[in-house]
Structures are given as structure tokens and as C-alpha cells.
């Protein structure tokens, strides 16, 4: 499955990330993961979304179901990308 990350700003200063999975033809999408709350900047939303995307890709490579970490996504993104 191909995974795609998108960042949305429905309200000024509220950024959300979403990961969708695309089938081989790219015709059908399914929701894989999403932010549970707004991020204050596009950069933080992108970093948190990329951290989640990397987790899902690693899990997919291992062939085991993904689980959401209990840690704070902003802290995890900061740890991974700084």
C-alpha cells in the first residue's frame, strides 16, 4: 500500500495531518492515521505527520499491525527531526 501524508489548515493557526493509504492503482483511499488535535504550525504538523508516516512504513515492512504510541506526537516529532 502506498501511503500519502497531507497537511490541512481548516482554521487559521490550526494544522492537522492525515495519512491515507492508496491502492496499487491509486484509485481508492483508506484512512490510516490522523492527528488527534491541532498543531500550532505547519512545520510541527509536517514533522509529526512524517514521524507517524515513518512508523506506519516500518510496521508495514515488518508485516505487523500499527499501534499509536502513547507519547506526545509533538515531542516525538521534535525528537526525530531535531
Give pLDDT, residue 44: 96
How far is residue 66 from each of residues 16, 25, 36, measured CA to CA in Å? 20, 23, 16
Strands (E), 1-82: 2-11, 14-22, 29-34
More confident residue, 59 or 12: 12
Query: Using an 8 Å Cβ cutoff, are 21 and 35 in contact?
Result: no
Give pLDDT, residue 73: 60
Query: Using an 8 Å Cβ cutoff, are 13 and 43 in contact?
Result: no
Counting Cα atoms < 13 Å in the Cβ hemisphere of 78 gives 7
Give pLDDT, residue 31: 92
pLDDT digits (tens, 9 = 90+) for 19-64: 999 887 767 889 999 999 999 999 999 999 999 999 988 877 776 5
Give pLDDT, residue 80: 57
Give pLDDT, residue 25: 78
Amino acid at each position: 500500500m502506498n501511503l500519502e501524508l497531507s497537511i490541512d489548515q481548516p482554521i487559521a493557526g490550526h494544522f492537522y495531518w492525515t495519512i491515507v493509504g492508496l491502492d496499487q492503482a491509486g484509485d481508492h483511499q483508506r484512512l490510516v492515521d490522523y492527528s488527534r488535535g491541532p498543531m500550532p504550525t505547519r512545520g510541527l504538523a509536517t514533522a509529526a505527520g512524517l514521524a507517524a508516516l515513518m512508523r506506519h512504513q516500518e510496521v508495514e515492512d515488518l508485516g505487523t499491525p500499527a499501534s499509536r504510541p502513547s507519547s506526545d506526537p509533538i515531542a516525538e516529532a521534535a525528537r526525530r527531526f531535531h
